[in-house]
Structure 1
């Protein structure tokens, strides 16, 4: 089969190329999917550079989310039939014509979602659900702060928080255009803060009458740490998804964590066990949430937004778009 490969196994964007490799064969419990579209994620960028290897047993080919048609069934598969239209999550291998996926990590593609829209959902919505619902335990009346609000996970988290009944959802981003857009979309942010020019901790205190926020979703790490702790209310919960500004925080004062009874949870999805991931996706609350997702113009309470669609012959351009931070929301690639 053809796949997006990396010359020398890792390196700059220019090392990406479409080449021939072995077509995967589904083993017990696996489904072989012929891919129509796949999503590009920040973790692909790090894996290409050699700093984020795939989990043991996963394909070394980039890509963790996709949409496509079931092409072949492994032994014991009972949930799917050849020809089913699906979308799903893998530890690697989605930048290809075919990918093996455990049957429990697939979801049926609804008719109201295009192939591109379906491919944009798994990584963002599963990650946001895990961070906000499973760990953040968001509930009606909570105040929520979401960093990197214009990212795919950020937008999913904002909408899930609103749909969960949050009293306020404050999103941070770096440009006026992104902030205005985040407030304008259905179930978008109730408040926005430019983290480059404003003190988000001071702003959320104003918005919550001095209480602070109950839940923080953070991707940034070091540069946001002190203000995140300041932003949190008594019994606040923070889920950390990445450390984009760095992972070491000098001269940390632990007393606010103690006195405010804060709970800080690190969260990754790709490194989780297959059992954990399948149970998460099978949960009734997650399925109820996913059933509400439509395209940008679909009218649902939760929507997926696409920045740009590339043919896979332009995979280098797609990676440059992400690496240069030119995108808000998802970049999707179609296999042709």
Structure 2
């Protein structure tokens, strides 16, 4: 099969190469997917840079989410059959023509979605569900603040929060991105470069949950705008991981500060999460309430160009490879 391999070097043009690899074989409890599309995510960039190694047992090939057809079914798998249209959450291996995955980590492609759209779902929807709705316990009528609201995670979080009956406050860089977040459903959409975030969010009434992909630079803001019993969920630290936290303020407001990663979770925990996502979030997708926009697609052999596009930071939504 054709696959993208990390060969060394610092930039994507030097680090990523199209190579031939043996076709993987589905073992017990696994299926093999003929990959038609694969999502490109920020952890892929970090792994390419040597800052986010694959967990033990995972493929060294990049790619955390794919969509395609079931091509091979391993022993003990009863739900899936050859030809089924599926998308899947991977620990690695998505930048290839075939991927093997635990059959419990697979979801059906919702009716009406093509493979590119479906490949944009598993990693992002699972991340949002686990952090906003499980760790953050966002409820209907509450307000979610999303930093980095036009990223792949951000655009998905806006739509999922709205589908759940919550209000959304979004921050992003630039007026165009602020308009895009508003069009996706953010009730208050702020330009982080020019707007007074604290004043605007305070005037809006504060927030119940923060989905924070920025980290250090927004730590003080988050502590100020969270309401009593607020939940601050950190999933990335683009501005740095060392932040000043006023413990007295957390105590007085009864704020919960938490964080998580998805890739390194045990297989059983991922299976639990996939089942929860299928029950809780897949109906929103099937109904058309959640449709994460795809900013751009690139053929597999242009994975380096896809990485450059993601690194530039001017995208709105997901970037997807096609195989």
| TM-score using structure 1 length | 0.93
Q: How does 1:18-167 map to 2 (within 5 A)?
A: 18-166=18-166
2:273 paired residue number: 280
Matches of 1:229 and 1:199, distance apart in 2: 16
Q: How does 1:1-336 map to 2 (within 5 A)?
A: 1-8=1-8, 11-14=10-13, 15-166=15-166, 168-185=167-184, 188-208=185-205, 212-250=206-244, 252-283=245-276, 286-293=278-285, 300-335=288-323
Matches of 2:298 and 2:103, distance apart in 1: 28
- Per-residue CA deviation, residues 11-45 of structure 1 (Å, 9 max, x unaligned), is 42012111011221221101011101101000000
Contact 2:107 2:278 in 1 (8 A): no
Query: How many angstroms does 1:286 deviate by?
Result: 4.3
Contact 2:88 2:122 in 1 (8 A): yes
SS of residue in 2 equivalent to 1:302 = coil
| TM-score using structure 2 length | 0.96
Long gaps (5+) in structure 1? none
Long gaps (5+) in structure 2? none
SS of residue in 2 equivalent to 1:259 = helix
SS of residue in 2 equivalent to 1:258 = helix
Contact 2:12 2:307 in 1 (8 A): yes
- Per-residue CA deviation, residues 105-127 of structure 1 (Å, 9 max, x unaligned), is 11111331001000011111110
SS of residue in 2 equivalent to 1:179 = helix
Of residues 191-200 and 229-238 in structure 1, the stretch that sits farther from structure 2 once superposed is: 191-200
Query: How many angstroms does 1:319 deviate by?
Result: 1.0
Number of aligned pairs? 322
Query: How many angstroms does 1:199 deviate by?
Result: 2.9
Contact 2:230 2:254 in 1 (8 A): yes
- Per-residue CA deviation, residues 146-170 of structure 1 (Å, 9 max, x unaligned), is 110001111111112112222x310
